[in-house]
Structure 1
Amino acid sequence: QQTHLIISRLLVLPFRRLKFVSKIYYDKCDLKLVKDLRRKFGNDPVLVVGDWSAPNAKFQEPTRNKGLLRYLKKNGFSIYIINEYKTSTYCPACKYSEMESFKEITNPRPFQRERFPKVLCHGLLRCKNEACLANGKRRLFNRDTAAVLNFRFILTSLRDEGQRPLRFTRLTKRKNTEEGSSREKTRKIQ
């Protein structure tokens, strides 16, 4: 209601009014996110975020990375950025087996449906290990859920052993050694 009153009093060009309105609504959404996070996780939560970033791609919604993280940091959250290397490829249940895409779906891209009517769904994964069974079926994971569960495993390993698990560490091709230290793999936003 207050936003509507402020906007109606502005004597600016319509496109500037639209930009101003979108800024106000972004700020409201950010404030609501901060309040919801505080209500759900308490006053001193620690947020762990993956380090991926993607440019604006065709047909994809742009994501808010740096600006949102800065806003959360400004509001008193502890934020850690973790390297996402191989986090969605290993099974979080049996720890060492890789996962695979298996479900075929109708191609979501209408202009490519004639050439490729069926494609693999990359969001749903199952463990390749036959011993990793739940109720007689292989365990199924959403790709993002598997990555977050492996984030937790990486963080407990960093806390207990002081280093990142070897299977989540990027190795250089030349010497087959670790690239950088584990401190570089998980860093805190300053």
Structure 2
Amino acid sequence: LTLIFGNWSAGMAAHHAPIPIKGLRCMLIKQGFHVLQIDEFKISTWCLYCGEGQLQKFLDVDNPQLHIRDKTPVIKSHALLRFNNGKCEGWVVDSVTGQSCPRIINRDLSACLNFRHIVDGLWQLLTMDPL
């Protein structure tokens, strides 16, 4: 049995307790499980369609952190990403102008689609009959 974990740790974020994932991983490996880790940041910015890491932040929003809003009133949103690669542009056509426009995707949806793509590929690899 193979278990796949993301590598994000709440210990890196302010006001969150660290997750004892290292101990859990070691325990599962000792019990005979195959444990894999996936880089959650890279997987959320990776373009599933062209296979290149070309998703970028583009949307300006008001800075939610009040204590630094004077210094930086506007920041780039982390939630929405745009495909900034020529291979991906043109896949979506604007219904009003009829011109191609870059794809826009939610970061969490991108991570889920990429995670599923990796798991499906791993499943196919593990179920293939050896020649």
Q: 1:83 and 1:146 mapped to 2: Cα distance?
A: 14
2:71 to 109, 112, 115: 115
Alignment match of 1:83 (pick from 38, 41, 63): 38
2:97 corresponds to: none
Q: Tell me if the contact between 2:60 and 2:76 (Cα under 8 Å) persists in the aligned partners.
A: yes
- Point out the more displaced range, 152-161 or 113-122: 152-161
Q: Confirm whether residue 124 of structure 1 aligns to residue 80 of structure 2.
A: yes
**Could you tell me how far apart the structure 2 residues matched to 1:56 and 1:90 are?**
22
TM-score, normalising length: structure 2: 0.63
Q: 1:129 Cα shift? A: 1.7
Cα distance, 1:62 vs. partner? 4.5
Do the aligned partners of residues 106 and 65 (structure 1) sit closer, same or farther apart at CA in structure 2, a change above 3 Å counting? farther
Q: TM-score if structure 1 supplies the norm length? A: 0.46
> How far apart are the structure 1 equivalents of 2:77 and 2:48?
19
Root-mean-square deviation (Å)? 3.2
Judge conservation of contact 2:10–2:19 (CA < 8 Å) in 1.
Answer: no
Contact (CA 8 Å) 2:7, 2:37: kept in 1 or not?
yes
Higher helix share: 1
| Higher Rg | 1
What code does the residue aligned with 1:147 have?
A: A
- Equivalences for 1:55-94 in 2 at 5 Å? 55=11, 57-58=13-14, 60-62=15-17, 66=21, 81-84=36-39, 86-94=42-50
Give 3-state SS (helix, strand or coil) of 1:92's partner.
coil
Amino acid of the residue matched to residue 102 of structure 2? Answer: R
Give the conservation status (yes or no) of the 8 Å contact 2:9–2:19: no
Partner of 2:117: 153
Preserved CA contact (<8 Å) 1:123 1:142:
yes
Counterpart-to-counterpart distance in 2, 1:118 and 1:156: 39
> Cα–Cα, structure 1 residues 99 and 110, in superposed 2: closer, same or farther, change >3 Å?
same
Q: Please report how far the alpha carbon of residue 82 of structure 1 lies from its aligned counterpart in structure 2 after TM superposition.
A: 3.2
**Deviation, structure 1 residue 145:** 1.6
Letter in 2 for 1:144: D
User: 2: distance between equivalents of 1:82 and 1:57?
Assistant: 19
* % identical aligned pairs: 32
> RCO greater where, 1 or 2, for CA within 8 Å and sep 6 or more?
2
The reply to whether residue 139 of structure 1 matches residue 95 of structure 2 is no
The one-character-per-residue Cα deviations of 1:116-150 (angstroms, maximum 9, x if unpaired) are: 01111122111112342323332212212211211
Alpha-carbon distance in 1 for matches of 2:112, 2:18: 18
SS of structure 2 residue aligned to 1:159 = helix
Identify the residue that residue 10 of structure 2 maps to in structure 1.
54
Alpha-carbon distance in 1 for matches of 2:76, 2:120: 33
